[in-house]
Chains A and B, each alone.
Chain A
Amino acid sequence: MTALQNIEEIYENRGGRARELRDAGKKVIGYFCCFVPDEIITAFDMIPYRIQGSQSDPIDEADAFLEPMACPFARSCFNMALKGEYDFLDGFVAPHSCDTIERMYHIWNSNKPSPFNHMINVPHMMGPSSDAFYKKELQYFIVRLEEFSGKKLEADKLRDAVNLYNRRRALLRELYELRRENPPRVSGTEITKVLVAGMGIPAIEHIELVLAFIEEVKQRPQPKPDGLPRIFLWGNEIDDIAFIKLVEECGAHVIMDDLCTGSRFFWEDVGQTDDPLDGITRRYLCTHCPRSLEPQAGNRKEDLENRFGYMKDFISRWQAGGAIFYIVRYCDTCELEGPDLREYLNSLNVPVLMIEDDYSTSTMGQLRTRIQAFLEMIG
C-alpha cells in the first residue's frame, strides 16, 4: 500500500485508529480547535484527538439541543457525538475559542459527558498578562489531568512531546514547500487528507506517514506547465476535502492556506524554554485566529500589516494569484475579519473571493459558479 493509500484509509475511517488504541488501554482525549496543546496530552501518554465534524452527514439530532444560528461545524460535531460517534473519547476538552465553542462545552458536557471534561479559558487579548493567565489555565488543565490519570506530569516527558510535535511541524512545513512548485506535484485535496488524517492518530505515527508521503511526492514526475491559477485559502475549519476538491475541479491549484485545519496549527514551532510550558503557552496563544485580538499597532495601514503581514510570505513564496476565503457561516469574528483581510490582500494586488458556507457537501455545488467565475476572472 502506498503512503497516500494509507492516509486515505485513515482519512475515510476517522477515529478508527483512536478506537483501536483505546481498546488497547490508551486514553483518548478529544478537543476542539487549535488552542489545546497536544504536547500536554501526549506527555500524559494519552492520545490527543482533534474533534471533527462531518460535512456529508445532515445535522438532524443536534437541532433538539442547539439553535440553527450556531456555527454549523460545531453543530455537526455535536450531532456526531449524539449519534455515539465520539463515544470512544475518554476526555472532552473545549477551549474558550469563541462564543459558540464555549457554549458547546456546556451543552456537550450536560448531554454527552466523557469520563473527563474540561474547559480551558483562552485569552482573546494578546500581551504579557494574557500569557501569564493562559499558562495558569494550562497548569490547571495539567492538575485536572493528573487527577484523572493518577499520574504526575514529568517535565522530561513534556519536553519530549514538544520535540516530537516540533518534528512533525517541520515535516509538514517541508511538505508545504513542495506546494511551491508550479504546477505542484501534490494537490490541495491530498494535503487536506494528510492533515485531517493526522488529527486522530498519535503524532509518531503521523510523522511516519508524512515522511513516506513526501518521498512519494518527490518520486512523481514534474507535470507540464498548465497556467492554472494558484489559490491561497483563508478561513476556519475545512476538515473535509469537498470544498478544496471543488476549487481544484473548477480549474485551479490550491497551494497554500491559513486555516485552523491547515498551516495555523503547525506553522510555528514551540520555542525551547527552561520551563517547556512557557514555550507552549507562547506558541498556542499566538495561533492565528480572528478570535484573538492583536493590540492595535499604528495607523490603519500599519495595523493591517501587523495583523496580516505573515501572509505576505505565503502569497509571494507560493506565488498565489488569488485568495479564496472560506468562512463557516455564523462565525462572527471571521465575518468581521474578512473585509479587513480583503482590503489588505487587495493592497498586495491579490484578488479575493469571500465565501460563506454552511459546512455541508450537499449545498456546496451552489458555490461552483462563484468559484469558477472567480477563476475565469483572475485566469
Chain B
Amino acid sequence: MEANGQVKTTAVKGTDTAREVRALVKKIYSAAHEAKAEGRKVAYIMVASQYDEIIRAMDIVPLPTENYAGLCAAKRDMDRFLLKAEADGYSQVLCSYARIGLGFDSMRKELGHIPDGSPDGGMPVPDMMLGSSAVCDPRFKWFQATSRYLAAPTFGIDVVAPPPQADLSEVRDYYIKYQRDQLQALVVFLEKQTGKKLDKERLWEAIRLGDRAWQLWYDIDRLRVAVPCPMPSQDHFSIMVAGHYYTGTQIAVDFYQKLYDEVKYKVDHKIGVVAEEKNRILYGGGLPPWHTLWIFNYFESFGAVFVIENVYRGFDPVEVPSHVKDPIDYLAWRAFLRFTRYHDQARARSGNPTVEKLLDMIEDYKIDGVVFHACRSCRATTIGQTHMKNELGKYSDLPMMQLVSDMVDLRDYSEAQWKAQISAFIEALAARNRQ
C-alpha cells in the first residue's frame, strides 16, 4: 500500500492561521536588522529560558539562534554552516543547532558580512549573548564558544528543577530563591548593557501577555482532543513560533486567539486534517526533523494523523500564589510550578513526570500509537526516549516507534530506512484497528 507520489507538499488541510507563521519568522530577523540600524540592542537568546519576558520588558530584540538553525534546515541551507563549524574543529556529534550557529558566526566574521543568501537575511552581530541551562547543556555553553567569533558580552543563568523524588516542601523555597537570584543577576547585567533600569510595570505587562498566550496555546491543544483532529503536528511545529519567539508580546496573544477561533470552528464543524482519520498518533518526544517535515504528510497518506506533541509546549498554565508581588519572584515561582507540575502524580504512579504527561495525552487524545524522534546530536531531547517507551509499555499496549535522524543534519537521515519503518508501524496500527 504505497502512498501516492504527492506527499512532498506542505499540509493542505492544516489551519490557515498557521500559514501566517512564515511572516512571523521573517519578522524575527528583519526586526533584529532594523534594531541594529536604529542602535537598539539585539541579543542572541535561548527561548524557554524563563527570562523571555524580561528581554521584552527591557526592549531588547531577541535573536533565537536555535530557531535560526531550524530555519536553515527547513530551507535546506544548513550544510555550509555545519561544514564550516566542523572545519573550525567542532565535532560532528556536537549539537547541530550549535554547529549551525557557530558555523554561521564564523563565516560572517571571516567574510566581514552576512553570508550571501543566508535564509531570511541572516542574523546581525548581536550586542550581547544570553545563555541558560534550561533544557540542555549546549544552551549555556554555546555562546561561550561563540565568543571566538564575536566580542559581545555574554551572560548565562541557571534554570533549575528538582527531581520528581524530592520532597517539594523541603526544597521549594531554596529552588525558587536560586531561580530568583539568577534572574535578578540577569536583570543587573541587562541594566548595565542597556543603560536603563528595568521597569517592573512593563515586566508585569509582558508576563500578563506571556501567560495569556500560553493559556490560549494550552486551550488550543485541548481542542485537539476532538475527533477528527482539527490541527496536525505540522502546524504545531510552526505555531510554536508565537509562543516561544514572541513570548510576552501582544503579537503572540493575537495570533493564538485567531488560531483558537479557527481550531474551534473546525472542531464545531467536525473538519479534520484528513478525510478519513484512521489513527491518531502522539508525537512522544524529540526535536522535529526540520529537514524533512513532509514526513508527517506521508503518515497522513495512510490515514494516520499526529494529533498532539510532547515538545515545545513544555508547560501547562500554572497558578502562582497571590502573595507573590514582585515580577521577578513571579517568574521564579512560575518556573518552579511549571517544572513540578507532574511531580505528585509521578510519585503516585510511574515515578516519572514525562511518562505521566504522555499517559494523560494517550488517554485524553484517544491515541493509537506513539512516535519518537531521536536526534543523533541532541542529548537532551533524545536520551530517555527508549526509557520512556519502556515505561509507557508498562501501562499501555500501543504500538510505539522511534525514528532516528537529526533535527537539522541531513547526513543522519535515511529516507529509505524511515519509509520501511513507517510501513511496519502503519501495519501494526492496522492490525490493532482490526482487533
Contacts and interface: CB of A to CB of B under 8 A. Distances in A.
B178 A129 contact: yes
B91 interface: yes
Nearest to B156: A293
B383 A124 contact: no
B376 interface: yes
Contacts of A109: 165, 351
Given A106-B352, A293-B156, A340 B383 contact: no
A69 B374 contact: yes
Contacts of B90: 335-336, 339
B348 to A, nearest CB: 15
A125 B136 contact: no
> Range of interface residues on chain A?
35 or more
Interface stretch (B190-198, B226-234, B384-392): B384-392
Given A119-B165, A124-B156, A333-B141, A299 B352 contact: no
Contact of A125 (B133, B148, B175, B351): B133
A336 B138 contact: yes
Contacts of B148: 300, 339-340, 343
A130 B137 contact: no
Interface string A100-137: 10010111011100000111010111010110110010
Contacts of B181: 129, 132-133
A185 B366 CA distance: 69
Contact of A106 (B88, B155, B375, B387): B387
B387 A65 contact: yes
Interface in A270-301: 290-291, 293, 295-296, 299-300
A143 interface: yes
Interface string B279-290: 000000000000
B162 interface: yes
A123 B158 contact: yes
B431 interface: no
A144 to B, nearest CB: 9
A143 B169 CA distance: 13
A342 interface: yes
B154 A296 contact: yes
A293 B174 contact: no
B430 interface: no
Interface string B126-142: 00000101001110111
A22 to B, nearest CB: 24
B145 A296 contact: no
A356 interface: yes
Given A99-B380, A133-B178, A336-B145, A125 B386 contact: no
A336 B379 CA distance: 14
Interface stretch (B16-24, B92-100, B116-124, B202-210): B92-100
B89 A339 contact: yes
B156 A69 contact: no
B160 to A, nearest CB: 6
Nearest to A128: B181
A153 interface: no
Given A338-B89, A356-B91, A143 B170 contact: yes
B157 interface: yes
Contacts of B136: 99, 332
A140 interface: yes
B151 A335 contact: no
Contacts of B157: 125
A66 B93 contact: no
Given A110-B351, A336-B90, 5 more contacts: A121-B163, A124-B158, A127-B185, A140-B171, A339-B88
In the A-B complex, the 6 residue pairs with the closest CB atoms: A129-B181, A133-B178, A136-B174, A335-B94, A124-B133, A119-B163
16 contacts: A64-B390, A69-B93, A69-B374, A69-B383, A70-B382, A124-B156, A125-B182, A140-B170, A300-B151, A332-B94, A332-B138, A335-B90, A335-B94, A336-B142, A342-B89, A356-B91
Interface of B: 88-91, 93-95, 98, 131, 133, 136-138, 140-142, 144-145, 147-148, 151, 153-158, 160-163, 165-166, 170-171, 174-175, 177-178, 181-182, 185, 351-352, 374-377, 379-380, 382-387, 390-391
Interface of A: 64-67, 69-71, 98-100, 103, 105-107, 109-111, 117-119, 121, 123-125, 127, 129-130, 132-133, 136, 140, 143, 290-291, 293, 295-296, 299-300, 303, 327, 329-330, 332-333, 335-340, 342-343, 354, 356
